[in-house]
Amino acid sequence: MPNSRLTLDPIEHVHLPGLAMAMLVPAPIIGALMALWIAPGPIGGAVYALAKVWLLAMPLLWTLVIERRPMARRIAFRQMSSGRLPPGLPTGLTLGLVIAIGILGVYALFELLGGGIDGARLKEVATASGFGTPLSFVLLGAYLALVNSLLEEYVWRWFVFRACASMVPPIFAVTLSGLFFTLHHIVVLAAYFPIWLAALGSLGVFIGGCVWSWCYLRFGSVWPGYVSHVIVDVAILAIGWRLLFAS
């Protein structure tokens, strides 16, 4: 049976990883700062959209233009072979359930202690952002859980983690890529929640980023992390639903 552990051979490495990270990691931070803090409105929204496009396009451009390698050889959305599922899916499922239970447990504890999230404030934010109705929230949730999580695995695990692992030992790359994944989330969470809750949420994002980077290190595929990511997003969305529509 072949070893499913990822070996970062020359094909797996990212060329000029430091430059690649300098060009990629600041983009979502700048986009979030402009949209939520510096210039909310059309200008900030436009900068955010451009940053999002760059975040998604840059790994592809880097692979095709800088590294000049066919995308088919590089993309790690490994296909099923011989009718078998990609390796690591049970691990991803288990990790996702463990993290989701932890998130729901922490939320339940806060509710029990009377220190939960301000639902009224969240409703104001949701309404202003256009997802204050059940239908719009479900549509947003479906996009976040199914599509956005896959895009994040492609950017932050397939590209960013590999770039980090091209600079430092893989186990340190897990932490470094988790940190890079967390930075723009800090900006977003701080705009919507009290500082203590933003800090707690950012810690959760960092842990999730490290777990999903480890999944890529262990299995060389985005799919285990994606499965885990979807489950975690569903747990967070369930809390959001409760705060918006069931409280």
Domain span at 85:
17-245
Between residues 191 and 71, the one the model is more confident about: 191
pTM: 0.91
Say which residues have a Cβ less than 8 Å from residue 176's Cβ, sequence separation at least 6: 164, 167, 168
Q: How many domains does the chain have?
A: 1
Degrees, nearest 5: CA angle 172-152-126: 125
In a domain? residue 235: yes
Per-residue pLDDT at 10 exceeds 50: no
3-state DSSP call for residue 228?
A: helix
In a domain? residue 149: yes
pLDDT given at position 86: 78
In a domain? residue 101: yes
In a domain? residue 99: yes
In a domain? residue 5: no
In a domain? residue 7: no
In a domain? residue 2: no
Between residues 128 and 241, the one the model is more confident about: 241
